[in-house]
Amino acid sequence: MKVTVVGAGAVGASCAEYIAIKNFASQVVLIDIKEGLAQGKAMDLNQCATLNGFDTQISGYTADYSQTSGSHVAVITSGIPRKPGMTREELIEINAGIVKEVAQNLVKHSPEVIYCKFKKTPKLAEQH
């Protein structure tokens, strides 16, 4: 099975690592818009493969959705954090646009992909 994780930050990299350790997929593709981030995270995870006991192939790419072709499942962790002075509505509007663009790119290359979006938990300070 091939799984794509979009967003190679802490949540995305942790998700990719968990998928590999649990042997949920034979191939994991990390995608991020920040140049070199997904490639670096993939290299880090691959270097821990023997220690963590997995043989999942993990690769990383910068905004190259053609590499997601044939994915069975996609996990979307991308989005921006809430910035000072930003309303929740503004945050939702921006992140909805990001998720829409990501989903369109995923479906373009993997029409049968099943995808899910992880919501970032707000900081305690934002809950009050």
Range of the domain at 95: 2-127
What is the CATH classification number for the domain harbouring 120?
3.40.50.720
Q: Which of 28, 45, 37 is nearest to 61 (CA)?
A: 37
Number of compact structural domains in the chain: 1
Task: Record the pTM.
Answer: 0.89
| pLDDT tens across the length of the chain (128 residues) | 999 999 999 999 999 999 999 999 999 999 999 999 999 999 999 999 999 999 999 999 999 999 999 999 999 999 998 899 999 999 999 999 999 999 999 999 999 999 887 665 555 444 44
Q: Which of 82, 79, 64 is nearest to 119 (CA)?
A: 79
